[in-house]
Structure 1
Amino acid sequence: MYNIKSSTSSEMASVSGSARKLRKKPLVLKLTNASQLPQNTNCLACSDDGRYLCLGHAGGLSVWCATTLNHEAQWLQERLEITCLHMTTTGETFYLLASIDDMGVARVFMFNLECIYPFSVINSLEDINKRNVCFNFEISEGGDYGAASMRCNTDIWLDIYYFPVEDWMRELKDPKLSANMKWSPAPRVNKIMPSAATMTDFSNMLTHCLVLDDTNEPPRHCTYHFLLKCGHSHGQNKPKSGCPITVCFWWNGSYNLLYHMLSKTTKFKQEPQPSVLWPNAAEIVCSAVSRCTRFIALGLSNTLVCVWDRLAGAPLSVCTLSTDSAFLRLQFADYCLACTDITQTLTTGEIRLVVVCKSGAVYIMNTRRGKATRSVQLSQRSKDSGDMLTVTASVAFLRGLVGKQLTTSLLVHRNGKMFMQDVVNGATVCALIPPTNHLLATHCTPVYALNVKQHILYMQGVQESTLCSSSIGDERPSQLLVLRFDEHDVTKPYVVSQPQSPRLQAISVTGEEACNDYLHERALSMEERHKSITQTWKRLQETVASDLQ
């Protein structure tokens, strides 16, 4: 189960040689200046059906048509600036928006055709000295649930909300209700405190096996992921297709990944206990979830990467990465192909992970159950601060320009340079440049969005002349830069349709099927596991012998 990194020198040499050949003359694509952006545009978000682009800016938010960039609707309020935005499709013509403003106030909106309706303020400002500040707010795909990381003075916690989306859509269709704007409330179904991460009131056997969090400083951040149904069917009380059933999360400084079941109403009068706790060998520093939410990858402080398989209820692999830098973030590279069928046996498909280190080094890790994990370094440690990566985003709709798999990623550096990279061999296959006399608006934190349905990249840019003539603190106009991959002969042949959303896949497996799959996998991987164990014991014996000399 615990696989040590295994990359032969011949594999590394082959990959490096292929990458060097393709890096000589990378293709160049130029973005176009499409439209003027509102003042202080801080964030962009695309609807998951690809029809709309939402913009957060000074004074509120706006919704544009994603293809024509025509203005569709806006919601404005004085002395307010939207800094964070999230958008998801809830119905054929309904979209749920989640926002955070510059005062840390979280809001929920519903966009329907030509109007944006404010539905709920998550944390209203009552006492300025005791106000709850939201610093992270996301909604699940489809809008059934929302999670908000809150802070009040030195206290921090995670709030889980249930959004009655179907009631809201029905109320919007009723002229009397929509005129009064008295919407159904969004109940808070859970308030999770960091103390839940140290709960050990499980069975005595588990209590001795768990890793207890022992940190001198209180947690300051919570990372969470909504998870779809991925497990055994029990006949009755099945959730609707695509609705998340649980949320997993971890607090900074914690060794443990925790789970809480989602509900529509508050069930606990006291602090809820985690329904599942998965301990790890070291402190968790970053995490990622596959598109189907079956696989969860955790980057640990001791350069271990653990990939958990929710269907098996155990790690798919645990491997170490030979690096002298801490992990910054993880990303599933080609999860669209790896997870299209959750009922497949556990032996099919290989999971690819992109690992970004704080030093700027980037690795690709290939892993599958019962096989040795292979890792290849795609880029070296950054020698200059301008070469540090600020964006690594999987371009799921663009087939690898070198291979046949969905392995292309968008890379943006702090110096404003943009590339498309094949993450299998590290080849820089395409360079992206802004229009003439334009730069990215903010190199360290680029404002961008990927439209996976319409195959469009949106970036915020500014004119060089405006940047040079403006004084510090002046408001500078910015432009929306666009790259339409369908319109370029170079990339058009590689554009593929996005696989069906896992929300629409009604998938369920029985306990017997899951058990049979696991036993079948164990039988097939027996020879490989025996070989791995033999090699491990040999290395241990060699280490002991060298220490005794």
Structure 2
Amino acid sequence: VTERANCLAVSGKYVFVGLSVGLAAFNMCDFKDVCAWDAARTEICAIHASDLGNECHVLLAVDEMGLAWLFCFHKESFLLIKILNEVEDISQRSPCVEVVLSRGGEYAGILLQGNTKAWLEIYQLPKDSWLTEMGKNTGDEEELACSERRSSCSSVVGTFLLQELPVSAIQADVTLDPPVLLLTVRPPKPITGTHFKGPLDALKEVDDGSMLGLGYNHLIKDSQWELQEAIFCSTYQEYLEAEGVIKEEIPRYATFHFLLPSRILVGPEMKVQPDIPVGIGVHWDGNHNFCLYLLNHSPMDKAGSDVKPDVVWPCAAPIACSAVSSCSRYLALAGEDATITIWDKHLGYPLSVTAILEERFIRSIHFL
């Protein structure tokens, strides 16, 4: 590598490296540089890759300006599909701070941060149409290679290899369908006083089933909360002065995972495939709730609106970090109180709860 390497991702037999001036792909069989995407003003800071099959890979990269680049890598060449958060007015751009690809390349998620807000966008990638288009392009290239070989053999001795085509020529005639925005997930708002006129209105909202476990459907008035806060502050004033008062704000960072089918996420009438994600799990900084969203909603209905979680798992303490096993069956949640809970998503109950006795803050957790 001639430039500084910032990050890397492995997919199939290739290693993709994010450089200070673009991307590079290396073949793990012989460790040779097979392709490069050079961009003098684009420093790649994070990269994720997934194998689509048929020698096709999808890449999601983030540069130093927070742009999320979606690439397809096929026949040892890069094809830029779309910049997911590109806007005409640069002042309105929201930088991307986190990206996640599902293992099979069916879905992609990006976390965006504006000046005062943050949100999560989930895209459905048209994987099948990409593979079909790449297959057609491969057939056309092989025809061209055969034609060139025949003409070359009739005039001079030599061979024409497809790999000798310039990268721009391979990319020029390929147009892939853009990804589809499926869900927009926004952070939970602070819980405020009730907006219901009475218990009957609250019960109607609960029976509707539109909100599960986020705590908005209650009958506590603002005046009651203010009185409770005043009593609490007067009782524990010396401790609050030592610790400092933290004002509740809307969180600006989230951790999210693509989840395979399980009893928690799949209804009795849903048709699913065992290796394709059916939902995402999300938790926001400083929040107690692990929220699960199904991915079978219509993009037209959900993309532009605030999506409500289909399942909510409340925790005793704010969630500090989380991890999902490679089979997607087991979920680990670490709270800010240094308690680790392992959930079996297929059965829907916790397998173990471990509390670290010493005062420790868990920053990351992994399955081995």
Structure 2 length normalisation: TM-score? 0.73
1:36-435 paired onto structure 2 within 5 Å: 37-47=1-11, 49=12, 51-175=13-137, 179-195=172-188, 202-203=206-207, 216-231=248-263, 237-263=270-296, 265-266=298-299, 267-268=301-302, 270-333=305-368
Distance of 2:212 and 2:260 partners within structure 1: 30
User: 1:235 Cα shift?
Assistant: 7.4
Distance of 1:209 and 1:149 partners within structure 2: 23
Q: 1:296 to 1:211 in 2, by over 3 A?
A: farther
User: 1:207 Cα shift?
Assistant: 8.6
User: 1:172 Cα shift?
Assistant: 2.0
Contact 1:255 1:279 in 2 (8 A): yes
Distance of 1:260 and 1:305 partners within structure 2: 23
Distance of 1:205 and 1:108 partners within structure 2: 36
1:421-465: per-residue Cα shift (whole Å, max 9, x none)? xxxxxxxxxxxxxxxxxxxxxxxxxxxxxxxxxxxxxxxxxxxxx
Amino acid in the other structure paired with 1:242: D
Contact 1:43 1:83 in 2 (8 A): yes
Contact 1:171 1:178 in 2 (8 A): no
Distance of 1:78 and 1:92 partners within structure 2: 31
Distance of 2:297 and 2:172 partners within structure 1: 27
User: 1:73 Cα shift?
Assistant: 1.3
Amino acid in the other structure paired with 1:186: P
1:480-533: per-residue Cα shift (whole Å, max 9, x none)? xxxxxxxxxxxxxxxxxxxxxxxxxxxxxxxxxxxxxxxxxxxxxxxxxxxxxx
Contact 1:196 1:273 in 2 (8 A): no
Amino acid in the other structure paired with 2:186: M
1:4-43: per-residue Cα shift (whole Å, max 9, x none)? xxxxxxxxxxxxxxxxxxxxxxxxxxxxxxxxx2312100
User: 1:44 Cα shift?
Assistant: 1.2
Contact 1:162 1:263 in 2 (8 A): no
Amino acid in the other structure paired with 1:193: R
Distance of 1:306 and 1:252 partners within structure 2: 17
Amino acid in the other structure paired with 2:261: K
Amino acid in the other structure paired with 2:273: K
Q: 1:264 to 1:106 in 2, by over 3 A?
A: farther
Q: 1:208 to 1:108 in 2, by over 3 A?
A: closer
1:320-374: per-residue Cα shift (whole Å, max 9, x none)? 11111211111123xxxxxxxxxxxxxxxxxxxxxxxxxxxxxxxxxxxxxxxxx
Judge which range, 122-131 or 81-90, deviates more.
Answer: 122-131
1:129-180: per-residue Cα shift (whole Å, max 9, x none)? 2211001111100110001000111110000000001101211233489644
Amino acid in the other structure paired with 1:285: A
Cross-structure match for 1:395: none
Distance of 1:160 and 1:129 partners within structure 2: 23
Amino acid in the other structure paired with 2:188: S
3-state SS of the aligned residue for 1:249? strand
Aligned length: 294
User: 1:293 Cα shift?
Assistant: 1.0
The answer for unaligned runs of 5 or more in structure 2 is: 141-169, 193-201, 217-245
3-state SS of the aligned residue for 1:191? strand
Distance of 2:124 and 2:191 partners within structure 1: 26
Amino acid in the other structure paired with 2:5: T
Contact 2:282 2:291 in 1 (8 A): yes
Q: 1:202 to 1:275 in 2, by over 3 A?
A: farther
3-state SS of the aligned residue for 1:171? helix
User: 1:209 Cα shift?
Assistant: 7.2
Distance of 2:40 and 2:269 partners within structure 1: 50
Amino acid in the other structure paired with 2:352: S
Distance of 2:189 and 2:346 partners within structure 1: 24
Q: 1:197 to 1:331 in 2, by over 3 A?
A: farther
Distance of 2:251 and 2:311 partners within structure 1: 20
What fraction of aligned residue pairs are identical, expressed as a percent?
Answer: 29
The answer for unaligned runs of 5 or more in structure 1 is: 1-36, 334-549
3-state SS of the aligned residue for 1:326? coil
Q: 1:106 to 1:230 in 2, by over 3 A?
A: same
3-state SS of the aligned residue for 1:172? helix
Distance of 1:174 and 1:138 partners within structure 2: 29
Distance of 1:227 and 1:198 partners within structure 2: 28
RMSD of the alignment, in Å? 2.9
Distance of 2:347 and 2:293 partners within structure 1: 18
Q: 1:39 to 1:264 in 2, by over 3 A?
A: farther
User: 1:283 Cα shift?
Assistant: 0.6
Highest relative contact order (Cα 8 Å, sep 6+), 1 or 2? 1
